[in-house]
Every structure is written in structure tokens, then in C-alpha cells.
Amino acid sequence: MAAVRTAFDPAVHGFGFPNAFVDLLTSLPTGTAIQTKGRCGGMAFASLDYFSADRPAPRWATNLYGAARVPPDGNWLADRIRKRLFDSFRARSALKFVTWAVAPDDRFGPVDGVRSWTLDELAKVVAAVDAGRPVPLGLVVARSVKDVGQDHQVVAHGYERVGDETHVLVTDSNSPGHEVTLQPEAGAWRASNGPLWRGFFVQDYTAVRPVILTRTPARGDEPVGPGSTIALSHVWTGFSLHGEHDLVTGVRRGTRASERWAVEPGSDAGTVTLRNVADGWYLASQAGTRSPTTGQQAVWLRAEPDDWRVEVDGGGAWTAGSRVRIVHAATGVALHSHPHVVDGTGGQREVTGFTGRDDNDWWTVLELS
């Protein structure tokens, strides 16, 4: 029998980076404290949120986050995944991580055991997939409560009949962008990416509205340069570079003309200018000016072009997936943003020119045309 799949696609609704988050202490609804190996539950729930909203998950690769490979705490996406991790453990079904850990594999007295329970859960997976509904799975390996942090969470998005067996097709945050298969092996379940699991169960899940930065994300390998029209996203806050009536800020919403910038050649080799599509004015800065909130060098729009230099992290050509600093050619300040809000703007973030260098200088291309 051919595989049966929902519309959930690991390469679209899964994230582009692996579950390489640092361990963190969390707790189950029972109050049991556990040390997790990453944030697999948060990544599974957040992926389902994007699927439920009929939108792709942000597909940024590991290079966007440097050596850590994943967005660090304080980054908008890391914080959202962390919240959804806690949500996955607050669900009543999370109690099974504890009850299954102390249960036998096979029937023992009045207790059916993990193998029998998993067959019941498998029927739930098949019914959900037949209805077009991907579901989160809790994968169990622990044999004591103290080892519950070794368990895992994935998204079941399909199944396949192979002879008398049913194989489950999952999206696993440890194998980003790839379909992983769970198949029976010696009374347990072997994942095609390596681990052997005692069993699995369907988790309770309620969709929440995800943060949608764009409906038309750029492909990471697309080249950027003069002639491109781009929307720029601040890597750490997820706010887009916005220009309106000479004020430059960061906003979080679907990009409009005020968040689109035409890349044009600068006056010197290796420089560019950024012209706001809505106003037709250029991104600019000047020594001795002060931003309204933090007093860093001001950035605004002006009628005359102003040169900027694009520094690609790690070198090479500027592509949509690059992490870049945009440096003011005349003064050397880096285009910079942070969580500080500009008064009177309804929550827009301040954008400045920063004389130092830190993680708040990183930008990436959100949309490209």
C-alpha cells in the first residue's frame, strides 16, 4: 500500500535548524522536575501551529544563529519555542511520560504494558492521518521517572502499510527537513534516524496563532544585490526594517511597501544604497545625531542617497539566507535594533547606528523580488 500523508511537510512546516537547544529544567503537570534534551516538544507544537495557520515555518538555517546553531534565549523564535515546550508539558497527556516510564513493556497483572498501549495509540495516529490531521507524538524510552528527560516529541504526519506492519512517518526536530520512519522492531519501535523507542502516544494539542513574519519567504540561496527589492528582518527580534515620513523603526507584521527596500549601487565600489519603496527616500545616518530612545547614532530617511556596506557573516556573496551587518560607509556604525520601543509609534522598535558590534547588528532577508 502506498504511504498515506497529510499536507504537513517536514521541509515546509518543520524548522531549518536541529533541536540543539541547551538543556533546561522544566516540570510535568505532576510537578515532577525533569531535565530535557533540548526543546523538541516546543518545536513540534510550533511546527503544528504554522501548519494550522496554513503558513510555512521560518526556514532559516543554522548559519543565521552562529556557533550555537539555534536561536539563543532572548531571540523571538527561541522564546516562542520555549513557551510551546512548556505548553506541551502542561497538557494532561504529558502525564503518560511518567506513567509509561514506570510501566512494564508487556502485560503484568492488571497492567497492559507499553507495547499494548502503543498499538492503541497507533490506531489513533492512523485515524488522524486519514482525517488529514497531523498529531504530536510522545516517544518513550525512559524506564524510570528520573530518565523522562530522555523521551522525545515529534509530529506524526503519515503512515505506511508494509505487509502486516504499519510504519509511522514523522517530522523529527533532530533530523530537520527529512521524513523519519518509525517501524516495529522486536516489540519496540526503531526510528530510521537511529533511536529505538519503547513506544509512543498521541499528545493533546491545541493550536495557537504563530508569529507570521511573511507569507512569501525568500529562498535562502537567492542572490541579493543592486536590482533586488528586499524586506529586511532583524534576526534577534524578528522585526522588519520600516521607513515612514523619515522615521526608521522595526515593525512586526506582514511586509508592506514601507518595509520594502530597493537595493541600488552606492557611490563607491562595494557599497549600496537602500531606497524605501513607499517613500522613495533613502536609508541614512550622520555622525553627531542621536536616536530618540537610547541616544545612539540616529538612522532616518532622506531624499539623497547614502552609502552602506554589506558585511556577510563568514564572507562570500550576499544571499537571502545570509546573516549580514549593514554598515554606514561614512561613519562605520552598524545598522542596529533592540527591544526598546519608540514612543508614540504603537510598539515599533528603535533602529539606530551602533558604534560597537553585538548580536543586535544582525539582519537577514525576509522577502526578495
Task: Give residue-wise pLDDT tens across range 133-168.
Answer: 999 999 999 999 989 989 999 999 999 999 999 999
The pTM is what?
Answer: 0.88
What's the domain range around 298?
A: 229-368
224 in a domain, yes or no? no
> Is the pLDDT reported for residue 52 higher than 70?
yes
- For residue 202, which of 150, 260, 133 has the smallest C-alpha distance? 133
Task: Give residue-wise pLDDT tens across range 162-219.
Answer: 999 999 999 999 999 999 999 999 999 999 999 999 999 999 999 999 998 888 889 8
Q: For residue 13, which amino acid is it?
A: H
Region 118-141: what's the mean pLDDT?
A: 98
Q: Are residues 98 and 236 in the same domain?
A: no
pLDDT classification of 347: cutoffs 50, 70, 90: very high
CATH number of the domain encompassing residue 284: 2.80.10.50
274 in a domain, yes or no? yes
> Is the pLDDT reported for residue 23 higher than 70?
no
Q: Are residues 186 and 235 in the same domain?
A: no
- For residue 297, which of 260, 266, 328 has the smallest C-alpha distance? 328
Region 34-41: what's the mean pLDDT?
A: 82
Task: Give residue-wise pLDDT tens across range 86-109.
Answer: 999 999 999 999 999 999 999 877
> Is the pLDDT reported for residue 259 higher than 70?
yes
Q: Are residues 34 and 99 in the same domain?
A: yes
Q: Are residues 12 and 121 in the same domain?
A: yes
220 in a domain, yes or no? no
Give pLDDT, residue 111. Answer: 73
Mean pLDDT (the chain) is 93
> Is the pLDDT reported for residue 28 higher than 80?
no
Per the structure, how many domains does the chain have?
2
Give pLDDT, residue 26. Answer: 66
223 in a domain, yes or no? no
Percentage of residues in the chain with pLDDT exceeding 90? 83
Q: Are residues 234 and 323 in the same domain?
A: yes
Q: Are residues 111 and 34 in the same domain?
A: yes
Q: Are residues 159 and 245 in the same domain?
A: no
207 in a domain, yes or no? no
pLDDT classification of 24: cutoffs 50, 70, 90: low
